[in-house]
Amino acid sequence: MAKKSKLLDKPKSKSVAKKSISKDSKTIEGIYLDGLRSKKGRLKWLRLETEHGEIVVKVAKDIASDLPPQIQVGDRLKLAVARKDSYLKAIQIMPIGQAINATALEFPAQVAEPQNKTQPQIKLKICRKGSCCKRGSKDVIKAMEAAIETHNLGDRVTIETTGCMDRCKKGPNIKALPEGEWYSRVNPDQAEDILRELQAIDRS
C-alpha cells in the first residue's frame, strides 16, 4: 500500500499570499503540475490542471517568496487570479488538499511562458548624479542605449536618468521597473547581460 502524503493532509485555511483580493479577481482550483523559475529561484509562472484543462498563470512577485517549500507537484491549489491583458496573474495561493501521486500525471518537464503574452514594458532608472556619475554612470547609460538600439528594443525598453537613489556606495545603480530589480556597481560591459536577465533579449 502506498504511503499517505503528510504534506497537505488537511485543507489549509491560512492564505499564503499577503496581497488583498480585489473585486475584479476570481478563484481557480487545480493540480499543480510544474513551474518556471527565474535565475534567482523565484517562481514566476505555474501550471495547473483544472476541470477545464491546463492553464498557465503568472505569480505576483510579492507573493512568490511566501510560497511554502512543501508545495510539490501533484498538490491541489486554490488561486485568486486577476486578468492582465492576455494572461492570468495569481495574487493569492492556498494549498487545499493532499498531494496525489505525481507519477500518474503526464506533462512536459517544464512550463513555457505563453507565447501570445503581451511583452511588458521595461523602464531602466539610471542614476547619473554624485558618486554614480564619478563611477561611470554616463558610460553605462551610453552602453545601455547602444544595446537597446542594437537589439531593436526601443518599443520595449526605455531609460530614465535620475538623481540620487540613496545607494551611493554601490554605484552606478540601475533600478528596473516594473519588477523593481536593482543592479549595482554596473559597468558598461554588463548592459546586454542585464537586458537578457530582464528577458528583453532572447537568451538563445
**Cα–Cα distance, 133 to 49 (Å, whole number):** 51
Grouping H, G, I as helix, E, B as strand and the rest as coil, residue 176 is strand
Q: Where in the sequence is the domain holding 40, given as residue range(s)?
A: 26-104
Instruction: Report the predicted TM-score, pTM, of the whole model to 2 decimal places.
Output: 0.43
Same domain assignment for residues 130 and 91: no
CATH number of the structural domain spanning residue 89: 2.40.50.140
**Cα–Cα distance, 96 to 8 (Å, whole number):** 7
Map grid coordinates 493532509 to a residue. 9
Q: Domain total for the chain?
A: 2
Are 129 and 97 contacting, i.e. CB atoms less than 8 angstroms apart? no
First to last CA, the chain: 46
Same domain assignment for residues 32 and 79: yes
Same domain assignment for residues 87 and 61: yes
Could you list the pLDDT tens digit for every one of the 204 residues in the chain?
444 433 333 333 333 333 443 445 588 898 888 878 777 777 788 888 888 888 888 888 877 766 666 677 888 888 888 887 777 888 888 888 755 444 444 444 444 555 544 556 889 999 988 888 889 999 999 999 999 999 888 888 999 999 998 888 888 999 988 878 899 999 999 988 888 888 776 554
In the DSSP assignment, the letter for residue 76 is: E
**Cα–Cα distance, 202 to 73 (Å, whole number):** 28
Residue 22: phi and psi, rounded to 5, are -85, 170
**Cα–Cα distance, 182 to 137 (Å, whole number):** 14
